[in-house]
Structure 1
Amino acid sequence: MRRPAGGAARASCFKRHCAPFGATRCPCAAGRKLRSSSTSETGSAECWTSDYSSTKHRVVPAQPQARGSSGYWPARNSGARVVLLQLYWEHLDPDGHSFLTKEELLQRCAQKDPRVSTEIAPLSSRPWPALRSLLHRNLVLRTHQPARYSLTPEGLELAQKLAESEGLSLLNVGTGPKEPPEQEPALPGAALAELGASEVGVQQPLLELGPAEYKVVLCVDTGETRGVGHRPELLRELQRLHVNYVVRKLHIGDFVWVAQETRPKDTARPAELVLDYIVERKRLDDLCSSIIDGRFREQKFRLKRCGLGHRVYLVEDHGSVHNLSLPESTLLQAVTNTQVIDGFFVKRTADLKESAAYLALLTRGLERLYQDHTLCSRPWGTPVYPESGTRPSPNPLCSLFTFGDFNSGAIKNKAQSVREVFARQLMQVGGVSGEKAAAVVDRYSTPASLLAAYDACATPKEQEMLLSTIKCGRLQRNLGPALSRTLSQLYCSYAPLT
């Protein structure tokens, strides 16, 4: 990805008027042409919606028999139909913005049926299945971050046909209040359920476990029990130490603890809440290989984003340090950085038996720490409730993730946004840690926005220093001129990188 200074030609998806859209859903990538009058120098996202803003109060001629060029016609009371109609009312409202956020869209739908909670995953950033289908069919456009959803011209035409097919009056919509007309039929709760049913972080009924209703169980990753060597011995040691454990596939970490319901309605699937502690175990030989291949830095970055506040890095000795592929000083520096800079608690053990004893000690400690406390669930991705903490408080109330939400949210290869892919790309550059990549992405959320900033620089020297003053990490230090120069060479140079 190479760029000349001063705004030379580039790939269409990085054009100035597409900058707000990032590299995935810009109009150019969809094969659409923007009117020159709607392209502003500031790159406003309204440049796309303004192509059809002139039709905002004009009724599109109805063609009930023709259901769009693709023949798509969402079923009555389906999630897709609900979304199209709600966006249509917002589009016709003279005081509206022609777009809705996900939370606003769900609230509008919930107002049509009192039985539906207004809290169906409003904080989740990924489109739910119905909206994903509309985005794929180019009926709905997504812009900005947080996401804003609006109708495309094709979606506008289809939405009006849907409204007319339900016998809704369109003549008075523009002069009424922001709420849809009273004669619009109520939308059933089933349609709302379709919107968020398969979404990670869907708001489930509140789970609450009283002090005598749960037990603390250690979850061991399956990777710790398979393969050659001493891995099966770990389970034998835990059994010998009378540790209550289960073996599961964990998408992040090697050990976590859950509060498991003791009297579940479904004995095969008891409710579980993840306690605020996670352990990553590394033998010295594995630590060496992970540092060499880059897994070490990536795993620490993912652990810091897993939602649990207390992260333990368990380093287990294995053989002589002189037989390892890295010198002992390098390993010591890596471990020290993990504790001092990354904020992990580092525990070093002599062998597997000592590691098992430490896990048993942690299990006993957590049992004492959480006893006599009421635990309740919170949706994945949400902050701790103001009245509680992730650890026991005098209330006593602890707000924790369910095990299903925690493990699903930590999947490594799930669908990623442009922002996340951009951060991963930056981390491939030597010297760019997770914190530094996050700081750059906070300022420039997509490659397009960064390239636009480079374009605005008057000289190559200004390009080199563009990122140097970005504040990074807990100490808020500058990114620095060296890394800023390296990144400018990556994104602005035609010549081979040296």
Structure 2
Amino acid sequence: METRLEVRLREPNPLFTRWLERWLREAERRQQKSQFKLRQALEALKSYPLPLSSGRDCSILRGFGGTLCQLIDEELRQHRGLQLVAREEAPVVQEHYEQQVQQVIRQVQEHQKRQDKKPKPRKPTKKELLEQAALEERERVVEMQPGGFQLLLLVDTQETSGKNKRVLDQTRSYLESLGARHEVRRLTIGDFLWIAQDAQGNELVLPYIVERKRMDDLASSIRDGRFHEQKHRLQQSGLENIIYLVEDYGDNEQLGLPLDSLQQALANARIQTGVQVVRTENHYRSMSYLAAMSRSLGQIFASKRLYSVQRGTLDKSICVLTDSRLGLLKFRALYEDSAKNAQLTVREVFVQQLLQLHSLSLDRAMSIVERYPTPRCLLDAYAECPDAKQAGLLLARIPCGPLERPLGEKPSQCLHEFYTTHFR
């Protein structure tokens, strides 16, 4: 980028200025009318940026009449001498001008050197431009007027693929037969959710999300710790209404866990985290429930004005179903944020690790993690014990489960041996 500099002499005509100032003071002292013309001429002379060599040259300026120009020429002759006027007039003025020009050139060169030393701005990369565009898109406020959008049920791709693809493909066929408008997409959280979609392609997520589980899958997720991790992620999603859609598995026999334990886990989830649990007899009944939800939500939201909000500003007061204007998350923001949250925390990994050990149930693992959130905390606690015997009994008295029964000496000793043995 080029820098434009203005070259302006500080005082191009010092002699003429000094003479006019002297004549003006005399005119003011004598209260002569000529003071007004002299003041006007002095202001014009000070504003003129170039040197003048004679009174005649001054005639181009305002206020300089013929008499004033002659006075200047006479003063010049007296100042330099009649013999030297023709020879010395131009060099004196020229020398003064060149000195000031050289000074300006030096200033320009110093300014350019300082500019060259400054770091030049780096051109953003394509990735940075895309990230900036994505950020601006996330911050852009979307508004939807009543009648300007339609509701769509999103089905996670995991519901239409897997080991038993024939059974899982029934999800789509059931929804189609029930008249539920839906679309299959990859969801980073939950199995089903609803969005409001306008003609411009903007998508806002309704505050409802469904996690579908068959009873045998529920038992498996409790055993390996996925149940706790999924509940945590659903609670962090920003969607207020979390629904567990639980299907019976035949006669609910051979589930891998006692039926009472599964029902207790669902009851705990409902009481402790506020999730809604819906039980159905089979796959078709589950899809019928989702289709009915789609119809109900369509009636509720048809007359609403919707607008987008950031996850950090989302609270229950923004989405009250009795209000005519509701704040909702953008689908893209929910998708990206949930994908980031899919990375397990150290605490969650610790729970899953504990569940791999024999005789450790979810209640026992959660009780240990409540006291020692990470393996490092547990190892530090072992190190503070005076001897190995007391370290082996460190966890024995930790209360576990609703009845708060102690963990016991044998599991405590097994855990101590597992975490303190060095394998080679």
Whether these two folds match at TM > 0.5 is yes
Pair 1:334–1:422, CA change in 2 (3 A): closer
Distance 1:260 1:493, change over 3 A: closer
Per the TM alignment, residue 322 of structure 1 is displaced from its structure 2 partner at its CA by 2.9
Post-superposition offset of 1:250: 1.2
1:363 aligns to what?
A: 294
- 3-state SS, counterpart of residue 273 of structure 1: strand
Matching of residue 252 in structure 1 with residue 159 in structure 2: no
User: What is the match of residue 55 of structure 2?
Assistant: none
Note the 1:14-29 alignment, pairs <5 A.
Answer: none
Secondary structure at the aligned position of 2:150 is classed as strand
Counterpart CA distance in 2 for 1:198 and 1:458 is 59
- Partner of residue 428, structure 1: 353
Q: Which residue of 2 aligns with 1:403?
A: 331
Q: Look up the match of 2:216.
A: 285
Secondary structure of the 1:242 match is coil
Residues 383-402 of structure 1: pairs in structure 2 closer than 5 A: 383-384=313-314, 388-394=317-323, 396-402=324-330
State the match for 2:158 in structure 1. 223
CA shift for structure 1 position 229:
3.9
Residues 109-159 of structure 1, C-alpha deviations (whole Å, 9 max, x = no match)? xxxxxxxxxxxxxxxxxxxxxxxxxxxxxxxxxxxxxxxxxxxxxxxxxxx
| Paired residue type of 2:252 | V
Deviations 1:88-111 (CA, angstroms, capped at 9, x unpaired): xxxxxxxxxxxxxxxxxxxxxxxx
Whole-Å Cα distance in 1 between the matches of residues 127 and 172 of structure 2?
A: 45
- Greater helix share, 1 or 2? 2
1:374 to 305, 323, 329: 305
Task: Output the CA distance in 1 between the equivalents of 2:208 and 2:151.
Answer: 12
1:275 is matched with which residue? 206
**Is it true that 1:236 corresponds to 2:173 in the alignment?**
yes
**Superposed displacement of residue 272, structure 1:** 0.5
Residue pair 1:251, 1:412 contacting (<8 A) in 2 also = no
**Is 1:316 aligned with 2:241?**
no
1:348 equivalent to 2:279? Answer: yes
Residue 188 and residue 224 in structure 1: after superposition, are their counterparts in 2 closer, same or farther (change >3 A)? same
3-state SS of 1:275 partner: strand
Quote how far apart the aligned CAs of 1:249 are. Answer: 1.1
Over 3 Å counting, the alpha-carbon distance change for 1:320 and 1:439 in structure 2 is: closer
Separation (CA, whole Å) in 2 of partners of 1:247 and 1:213: 23
* Alpha-carbon distance change, 389 to 458 in structure 1, aligned in 2, over 3 angstroms: farther
- Structure 1 pair 422/345, CA: closer, same or farther in 2 (3 Å)? closer
The one of 149, 154, 166 aligned to 1:214 = 149
Distance between the aligned counterparts of 2:407 and 2:135, measured in 1? 40
C-alpha displacement of 1:462: 11
CA change 1:410–1:337 in 2 (3 A) is same
Task: Tell me if 1:332 matches 2:234.
Answer: no
- Does the aligned pair in 1 maintain the 2:146–2:303 contact within 8 Å? yes
Alignment of 1:55-94 (within 5 A): none
Instruction: Please identify runs of 4+ aligned residues in structure 1 that moved more than 6 A.
Output: 184-193, 198-202, 432-441, 446-466
TM-score (norm 1): 0.48
* Displacement of 1:194: 4.8
Provide the TM-score with structure 2 as the length reference: 0.55
For structure 2, list consecutive stretches of 5 or more residues without a partner in the other structure: 1-113, 355-359
Equivalent-residue separation in structure 2 for 1:201 and 1:431 (angstroms): 46
Q: Paired residues, what number? A: 300
Which consecutive unaligned segments of at least 5 residues does structure 1 have?
A: 1-163, 169-183, 265-269
Give the counterpart letter for 2:230 in structure 1: Q
Say if 1:426 and 1:334 are closer, same or farther in 2 by CA, change over 3 A: closer
Larger radius of gyration: 2
The residue type paired with residue 220 of structure 1 is V
Distance 2:306 2:240 in 1: 16
Superposed CA RMSD? 4.8
In the alignment, the residues of structure 2 paired with residue 323 and residue 465 of structure 1 have an alpha-carbon distance, to the nearest angstrom, of 36
